[in-house]
Structure 1
Amino acid sequence: MIHYILQIIAFQLLFLVTYDLFLKKETFFNWNRAYLLMTPILSFFLPLVQLDFIRQNIPTAYTIQLPEVLITSSPMQVHLLPEVIIGSESNLSNYISLIPIFGYLWYLGVAASLFLFLYKIFKILNLRRSGTKVNTKNITLISLPDTTTAFSFFNTIYIGTNLSEIKKTNVLLHEKIHVKEYHSIDLVFFEILRILFWFNPLIYIYQNRIATLQEYIADAKAIAETSKKEYYQNLLSQVFQTEKISFINTFFNHSLIKNRLIMLQKSKSKKIFQLKYLLLIPVVCMMLVYTSCTEDSPQDVPEIAKQNSILEKITALKNEIELQGGLSSEEEKQLKGLAAKLTNDVSKSKYQYVPGSKDVPFVHLDKTPVYPGCSEASLTESKKCFSQNISRFVGSEFNIKLAEDLNLKGVQRIYVRFKIDTNGQLTDIKSRGPLPELEEEAIRVIKKLPKMTPGEKDGKPVNVLYSLPIVFEIKK
């Protein structure tokens, strides 16, 4: 979840930077409004999108699938288990006491933000009750006594009686545009996001950008119906009282007056500059590349594990035939054919060995990597010893206290890939799991594995890739 939230914030930041650098100063106000409303929503969905053709998977033909490891807090008999599973004992009291503190903070922040929102609504209702109501077509006008306040909220315009008639005319013209354009909906939308994501400063920036843009839209349409000179003088006139409410359209916002005057005098942007919005395409593509390459699809992992399990059996069959008296060329051809059919890629032949290559498909290995202390005399015994030692090592080193620290329950699966290079060192260690903490723990454990005797092909050391599924089973 934390990783997902960080991705949302990162994507929103990229969208905002794109807006500020390339779009903010253009007069395509409606386009900019659509951009500011659409991109925060995109930021919530893009981290969930993964495209298979983008994801760069390591070819399964070059990967040896190790048995899953079982890790429990009780005595283990690894040689009886076909997989590495991590088990953890827990009780109800520990489970209850391990509710993440972040959850409490989030609820507290939501409650505080909701209270502020309701307080702002209460202030508007008070102003409504204190004023004189005049109903016109589709708009309600509230005259506020003894004030120069001027703002709109949905289909209601609030205007102080102390304003001069000329100023009232310009203000009403401006605020009516806010009402007709449904600008309050935009601001309330971001107000809801502020309640739910109170910890995200970019939501506040988004709301500020949309509020500024709405003033530009209202100014541009209002000035077409009145005297520019009077409208400018109105903006440059004395300081007026303003309601400090984030989701109302206030006319006399002094921090915006300079920018509004600049935009009023700015020439209309050339249509060719609308091509700037095409920048959204590469920005979204970059995000899709990131999301597709940083996390394996949940549906893909079991399929990979299934393929690798069958490939492992093909390799075992090859080794058994060799032990029984050698592998004929016809038998080797049939085994390669089975492997190629498994990957549905006979033409490309992922299992084809390129002479001289240091990365060798395990089907072609003359000698598999050997765990320290294991015998190299028999391929079958060497592989069995290798798997058993990997299982024991991971089972003893994995931190089962993570179950309590992360408040885990049920079964958590972690998939680790690593390479044993020509020097016997473990490199290119990668992991995929339900939580970053479990991924990091799996990588930490694999890094601690001892140096191996490298695999060989034609008498030369080669790189061999392994895939190790780890199942973390939390028991109550």
Structure 2
Amino acid sequence: MIHTLFQIFVFQVLFLAVYDLFLKKETFFNLNRLYLLIAPILGFILPFVSLGFIQQRIPQEYIIQLPAVVIGGGVSEMVSSGNNWWIPNFTALWIFGMVLSALLLCVKFYKIIKLKFTANTQKFPKFKLVTLPKTDIAFSFFNSIFLGENISEENKASIIAHEKIHIEQKHSLDLLFFEMLRIVFWFNPMIYLFQNRIATLHEYIADAKVTIQKDKKQYYQSLLSEVFQTEKISFINTFFNQSLIKKRIIMLQKSKSTKTAQFKYLLLLPIICGMLVYTACSNDPKAEEQKNVSQSDSEVMNKINELAEAIMKKGEMTPEEEKALKLLTTEAQPGDKVYTSVQEYLNETEDTLRINKNQDYLIAEIEKVPTYPGCSGDNETLKKCFTKRISAFIGENFNTKLGKDLGLTGRQRIVVQFKIDKSGSIADVKAKAPKPELEAEAIRIVQKLPQMQPGEQDGKKVSVIYSLPIVFEVK
């Protein structure tokens, strides 16, 4: 999650940087408005877009993390070392922030409603004029224009003409859209910056429209003649914002941008393409790790199970078949040779492991899988229950402090192979890990598993082999 939020933030920073550096000073106001509305949404969407044809053209070693191969239809689980406590806390904090932001929005609405009740309202064909007593406030919200009675009469005409543009162009909807984003993503500073940019752009649009009909010098005078108050409400179009007046006058003095300047918008194409390549190559390591060790019903696992079932139906495996099966069921480690084919592996390695000589079964769809004490139901239910119980057992009994004692950091992976024999006992426990101490600890825990009810095939009790990946993180 953190990785995805970081990607969203970076993408939105890039989009805003393009606007500030290349587009902000152009007079293509409507295009800029569209850009500012679409850019933050693209920033949210692109991290979740992963185009397959891009992935296919990128060397696989950069985009695929080898998962632990699970033989057992779903007995792997990431063992928590107590470092995931922040996940529910972060969710609770997120929700709390959303509730608080929604309440603040309600307070803003209340302020506007309160102003309406203390003012005199006049209805016109396309807008309502709300005159506020004893103030010089000037702003609009949807089809209402709020004017303080202290504003001079000669300025009121310019202000009303300006605010009517906001109403006609429905600028309040833009600002309200960003208010909704601020509720959901209250912690993302880029939403506030995008809202600020579009509020400024709204003023440029209205100024440009008004000065087509009015004398620019007279309009400048209305901007500079008095110091006006402003309401600190983020979704209203405020006419006299002192920090914006200088920018508005500078923009009014600018010549119209040439049509060739529109080519600047083409900068978006390489940026978006670069983002798509990045998302195709980049995955959240932690999320991928959890996905790899927990999603046992993947297509790869189905193929492995089908292969195992085909081998079992033969009754016996040849030495070559045993070697090939070991290649499929052995977890790759950094530095291991990568074989381009099974035949290459068979030609170069001698295998000493025999996993089917005594009619041991892999966890393909046998008639009845081994049963953990207390589990019941059909095969799928039994497998899910087995996964849950054994994961909980490992999590409760594994000495996660061992990683620190050994001076290890980061994720540690252990693959344990064990057999539930014809009597339901745990047998032939083996482990592979970065350190012998981790292997010994994993073997110790697995050997403590309770007596199981053995699996059955063709009405006979059979042995079943499991491969159990254990993943935990040492801080």
The residue correspondences of 1:65-464 to structure 2 (distance < 5 A) are 67-68=69-70, 85-86=76-77, 100-295=88-283, 302-307=298-303, 321=318, 360-366=340-346, 378=352, 380=354, 441=411, 448=434
How far apart, in 1, do the equivalents of 2:468 and 2:152 lie? 76
How far apart, in 2, do the equivalents of 1:232 and 1:200 lie? 36
Letter matched to residue 29 of structure 1: F
How far apart, in 2, do the equivalents of 1:118 and 1:47 lie? 32
- Say whether the 8 Å CA contact 2:134–2:148 is kept in structure 1: yes
CA deviation map 1:311-355 (0-9, x unaligned): 8899999x965669xx9xxxx9xxxxxx9xxxxxxxxxxxxxxxx
Q: Aligned-pair distance for 1:121?
A: 1.1
User: Is 1:19 matched with 2:5?
Assistant: no
How far apart, in 1, do the equivalents of 2:204 and 2:65 lie? 59
Q: Aligned-pair distance for 1:268?
A: 0.6
Q: Aligned-pair distance for 1:294?
A: 2.4
- Say whether the 8 Å CA contact 1:216–1:263 is kept in structure 2: yes
Q: Aligned-pair distance for 1:107?
A: 2.4
Question: In structure 1, the residue corresponding to 2:26 is in which secondary structure?
Answer: coil
CA deviation map 1:261-288 (0-9, x unaligned): 1110111111111111112222222222
- Say whether the 8 Å CA contact 1:86–1:470 is kept in structure 2: yes
How far apart, in 2, do the equivalents of 1:11 and 1:181 lie? 28
Worse-matched range after superposition: 177-186 or 106-115 = 106-115
- Say whether the 8 Å CA contact 2:172–2:235 is kept in structure 1: yes
Q: RCO higher in 1 or 2 (8 Å CA, sep ≥ 6)?
A: 1
Letter matched to residue 448 of structure 1: P
- Say whether the 8 Å CA contact 2:73–2:297 is kept in structure 1: no
CA deviation map 1:402-444 (0-9, x unaligned): xxxxxxx9979xxxxxxxxxxxxxxxxxxxxxxxxxxx63669
Evaluate the alpha carbon distance shift between residue 64 and residue 118 of structure 1 in structure 2; reply closer, same or farther with a 3 A threshold: closer
Partner residue, 1:43:
43
Q: What TM-score does the superposition give when structure 1 sets the normalisation length?
A: 0.63
How far apart, in 1, do the equivalents of 2:66 and 2:247 lie? 63
How far apart, in 1, do the equivalents of 2:468 and 2:27 lie? 55
Letter matched to residue 68 of structure 1: V
How far apart, in 2, do the equivalents of 1:236 and 1:204 lie? 27
How far apart, in 2, do the equivalents of 1:179 and 1:168 lie? 16
How far apart, in 2, do the equivalents of 1:88 and 1:66 lie? 14
Letter matched to residue 190 of structure 1: F
Worse-matched range after superposition: 177-186 or 102-111 = 102-111
Q: Aligned-pair distance for 1:85?
A: 2.1
Unaligned runs of 5+ in 2: 329-336, 363-384, 389-409, 416-431, 437-466
Partner residue, 1:421:
none
How far apart, in 1, do the equivalents of 2:296 and 2:256 lie? 51
- Say whether the 8 Å CA contact 1:63–1:361 is kept in structure 2: no
- Say whether the 8 Å CA contact 1:67–1:82 is kept in structure 2: no
Worse-matched range after superposition: 147-156 or 13-22 = 13-22
- Say whether the 8 Å CA contact 2:161–2:210 is kept in structure 1: yes
Evaluate the alpha carbon distance shift between residue 63 and residue 16 of structure 1 in structure 2; reply closer, same or farther with a 3 A threshold: closer
Evaluate the alpha carbon distance shift between residue 64 and residue 112 of structure 1 in structure 2; reply closer, same or farther with a 3 A threshold: closer
Evaluate the alpha carbon distance shift between residue 83 and residue 189 of structure 1 in structure 2; reply closer, same or farther with a 3 A threshold: closer
Question: In structure 2, the residue corresponding to 1:100 is in which secondary structure?
Answer: helix
CA deviation map 1:245-303 (0-9, x unaligned): 11110110011111111110111111111111112222222222222222479999923
Worse-matched range after superposition: 21-30 or 100-109 = 100-109
How far apart, in 2, do the equivalents of 1:444 and 1:272 lie? 60
Question: In structure 2, the residue corresponding to 1:133 is in which secondary structure?
Answer: strand
Evaluate the alpha carbon distance shift between residue 312 and residue 36 of structure 1 in structure 2; reply closer, same or farther with a 3 A threshold: farther
- Say whether the 8 Å CA contact 1:33–1:210 is kept in structure 2: yes
Q: Aligned-pair distance for 1:377?
A: 6.3
Partner residue, 1:406:
none
Partner residue, 2:30:
30
How far apart, in 2, do the equivalents of 1:49 and 1:301 lie? 23
Q: How many residues align?
A: 350
Question: In structure 2, the residue corresponding to 1:365 is in which secondary structure?
Answer: helix
How far apart, in 2, do the equivalents of 1:411 and 1:98 lie? 24
How far apart, in 2, do the equivalents of 1:233 and 1:18 lie? 33
Q: Aligned-pair distance for 1:196?
A: 1.4
Report the identity percentage.
46
Partner residue, 2:373:
none
- Say whether the 8 Å CA contact 1:216–1:260 is kept in structure 2: yes
How far apart, in 2, do the equivalents of 1:255 and 1:232 lie? 15
Question: In structure 1, the residue corresponding to 2:131 is in which secondary structure?
Answer: strand
Worse-matched range after superposition: 255-264 or 35-44 = 35-44
Q: Aligned-pair distance for 1:43?
A: 2.1
When the two chains are superposed, the root-mean-square deviation of aligned CA atoms in Å is 4.3
Evaluate the alpha carbon distance shift between residue 64 and residue 216 of structure 1 in structure 2; reply closer, same or farther with a 3 A threshold: closer
Q: What TM-score does the superposition give when structure 2 sets the normalisation length?
A: 0.63
Worse-matched range after superposition: 8-17 or 293-302 = 293-302
Question: In structure 1, the residue corresponding to 2:50 is in which secondary structure?
Answer: coil
Question: In structure 2, the residue corresponding to 1:441 is in which secondary structure?
Answer: strand
How far apart, in 1, do the equivalents of 2:266 and 2:67 lie? 44
- Say whether the 8 Å CA contact 2:119–2:130 is kept in structure 1: yes
Partner residue, 2:442:
none
- Say whether the 8 Å CA contact 1:110–1:195 is kept in structure 2: yes
Question: In structure 2, the residue corresponding to 1:242 is in which secondary structure?
Answer: coil
- Say whether the 8 Å CA contact 1:63–1:362 is kept in structure 2: no
